[in-house]
Structure 1
Amino acid sequence: MDRSREKVTIGLLVLSLAMLVVLAGAAYRTIEAFQRSRAELLQSRERLREAAELVSTLRRLVGDVRGYVIAGREEYVSGMPAAIEELRIRTRTLKVQVEDNTAGSRFVAEFEPLLEQRIARLNETVALRRERGKSAAEEFGSTGQGRDMDNAIARRVSEFRAVEDSAVAARMARLDRHARVTFVLLALAVAGNVVLVTVIAVVLRRELRKREEISARLETEAEQARVVSADLQRSQQLFMRLFENSPDALVLVDADRRIARANARAHELFGWTSGTLDGQLLDLLLPERFRARHLAHMAAYFKAPKARPMGQGLDLFGLRSGGDEFPVDIMLSPMGGDTSPLVLAVIRDITQRKQAQQHIERLNEDLQRRAVDLEYANKELEAFSYSVSHDLRAPLRHINGFSDMLKAHAANMLDEKGRRYLDTIVDAAKRMGVLIDDLLMFSRMGRSEMVRQPVNLAVLAEEAKRAVEDEASSRNIRWSIASLPEVQGDVAMLRQVLFNLVSNAVKYTRARSEALIEIGTAPSSPGEVVCFVKDNGAGFDMKYAHKLFGVFQRLHGSAEFEGTGVGLAIVRRIVQRHGGRAWAEGALDQGATFYFSLPANGT
């Protein structure tokens, strides 16, 4: 190395050492500034967090007071004093935090009286609710002053947040700037240590390395260009295959409404020879009555193109080469062209879909008409049943009355067979009276208005038990009544359900030395309650279970068990009117279980 090269190297060494000293001092000052900015940033975040907690507590307090006004339950406002104290403590804390901040001090000075006014109004609302009731409190709240206060508080907090966010952004920028400066200084310090060793080699090899890098980069870029070109060519070929072989009609249209390209399916759908649509105006495929309107829609679409169905909610039609129209469904998608934008229209013939829809609409209309006819027939049938049952009462009363009078007047004149005939007439009239009563009740259960309210099924079960205890006082009956839920329903109707099921259980266990009758609940689906009445009585054959709930359907003879065959029909009608269902399980001489489901309380 010659003298001049040695002097240059020594000079570079001295310069490097001087740079290290200068950079070390600058780095120290930059780190100090970084730490100060970081502390200020943490303080700003703490103030923002405190303001957010304050607003959250106030909103929770306002929500509790509103809940108390609506429900009147004291637990809503039991924590109100603590919440108010928390608001004041947080306000004082925030006041201390912003003492050295002009904008923050101004915020607290404006916010504190607003907060006290809002607290006073909330206290006044609670007092009105306690002293004068819900309507007075709601009228007091309907003036909008509370909402205005909330809006004013929200504006103050938003302004404070905006100021703090601006300060945070500025501090973050300073932090970022300090971090970058520190990084640069440290990098320069490290570089200074390396300079002495690498400067000569860098100077000598710089041009050679640069040439090698340029050569390698050019070679890489050339290879990438070849790969991109091959991929582009394959993509174009794949697109054209997909375009031509698509099962849907595809038409590319430019901004001048000319068909840039149409695939084979489009030519087939519209009745044109392959290739003849390319370059033609799109009007060729549109019925004449839509062309003027379509021109405006097309211009609007090219101004804001996006993938969407065409003519949402409208009936669209295409025009075949022979002049006949057919319904279509069209999906539009913007496509980038070589010189101008293009739109890809995906077109489907929906003639069969339209025909199916029309068929479904006709079926629905017919179904609605049949439903109306059925409803009318049911109402007529119920009215007829009620009228017949009601009109039968008068002649039946005459039969009963005159039979009793005949029995009292002429019983001694009749022989034993005559008296038996007369007793048969009296018994038959009484059975017919019971049957008419049951028919009237069945009709009433279908026509009477339901009064829905919370119903305690446990209470109704006990009432049903007490109602049959006199009849069964001489029998040995073991009762098991589980805890029953509360449901929404008509209390009179549900009382009738439990009475009918319990009286059936008492009747059909008559032959047992010890009757077992259980009332409880069974597993059910979400949103419903399933109850059952179970006995160890005569039971029934499950192949006749579908007849149990029909009117006048009996699986046992009247000589064995009295009844009209209407009681279970009444049960099913009441349960169905409540939105539930009724069914039964059993076996001959092994007892029976009758189930009914009801919507759960609140559903």
Structure 2
Amino acid sequence: MKKALLRPNLKSARRNGRVKLDEASQLQGQLLATRDYAEAVIEAVPPLLVLDERLRVQTANASFCKAFKISSRQTLKRRVYELGNGQWNIPKLRTLLEKVLPRKSYFKDFEVTHEFEGIGRRTMLLSGRQVDHLQRILLVIEDVTEQRKSQAAMRTSEIRYRRLFEAARDGILILDPSTRKITEANPFMSELLGYRHEELLGKELWEIGLLKDEKANQSAFRQLQKKHFIRYENLPLQNKMGQHHEVEFVSNLYDEDGRKVIQCNIRDITERKRAEEALLAAKNKLGQHALELEKVVEERTSALRETIGELEGFSYSVSHDMRAPLRAMQSFAQFLVDEYGSKLDEQGVNYLLQIMRSALRLDRLIQDVLSYTRVIHAQLPTERVDLDRLVRDIIETFPNGQPIKPEIQIKGTLPEVSGNAALLAQCISNLLTNGTKFVPPGTTPRMEVSAEAVEDASFRIWFKDNGIGIAPENHERIFRLFERIHPSTEFEGTGIGLTIVRKAIQRMGAQVGFDSELGKGSNFWIQLKKG
């Protein structure tokens, strides 16, 4: 009987035990899932430390290890102040953990800046919470270093922009695109327009004299909304006092933190326009003066040419016509010496000889003047000149009036050049005459004629002598008309020979020059194009 009663109770107990085991298994699974979820959350959040009541690290998540370059093994069971060889022994952190947290059970977003060996100076937001039933402390460290740098850079940029905005000598207006009203204006706009800053705010452009009227204002804004940019080069403006200005107006539509903003830049170009108008007027006036001056110069040049032509004709005529009576004087003086010389005393004969010598010098002077005039007026056909043949012909017929016969040597064969044969013959003859004349008394005149190729497809022809040379202070004088360095009692001459050389060379588009040193002779040269 008793056994029959016990069997149902045993079966019931077994069923209850199986139910409790199932419930326990389910609970364990839930606990494991909760733990995994909590660990996943911990790994996903910013740097986090879980501390026990003695401030020893129980958990350091991956974010903490990565941010502060430390391994999880180096953190576990260590006091937080010992981490990183004591780098976390931060006074503010001690205050928060040891004094603030016990009283309030939590703290949030305390900013701390600290220098770490491996990662440098970092700025962190510290948040902590004490979990009493677990006897744990959660310490969250948010690294805001880059954020603070960005904020500092932004503040610096804003300060600089504000300084530029306020100091700019161009007007700047900020407008709301939806209302077309001014929301900000820099000080120069008040100076230009005569409105106080607060008077400008809330007004449209046409209300402060920038655009003609409300209709023009609306048209400009439609164009700005379409193109995001408008520009007016010469916009008339009337300020509050009725003064008129010319301005350049540029307006841009752009985004600022997700909202549309219009910026207008206004530059006062009144003075520039006045300067441009004055400059244009001055230019026109100068152009008129230039035309008048050109006319005057042309008239005077024509008159001067006519006068010069008359003077040259007169000088040529005088020089030419003077030779006939001069030759007559010379001839009659010679007749007197020849026919009546025996009837005159010595003084009388000397007087006649002096007349003859003076007439001869005057005749030479007239011939040189005529040569100079021919050089000035002669037609100059340019041709190929056989310089070697020309120089040898001149030497063969060279006058031998010197007491000592000159020795003239041609070195090598002279080249063919481009020039005028008549003028070249005159130049060479004059250079040879000068080189053999100006020598010390009793010295045999020696000259060497040579040629060398130089740049620009030219030849330089040298005339080297053993004469007395030319002092440096006289180098500029020798080519002047009628300029004589030595008195005629020492060396005969008219002072025109080298002037003729320079003028002839210039007319052929060639060059002439010399090197000379007193007592060491002279080296004259002429430079001609290749023939």
How does the TM-score come out when normalised to structure 2?
Answer: 0.49
More helix by percentage: 1
More strand by percentage: 2
- Which structure has the larger Rg? 2
How does the TM-score come out when normalised to structure 1?
Answer: 0.44
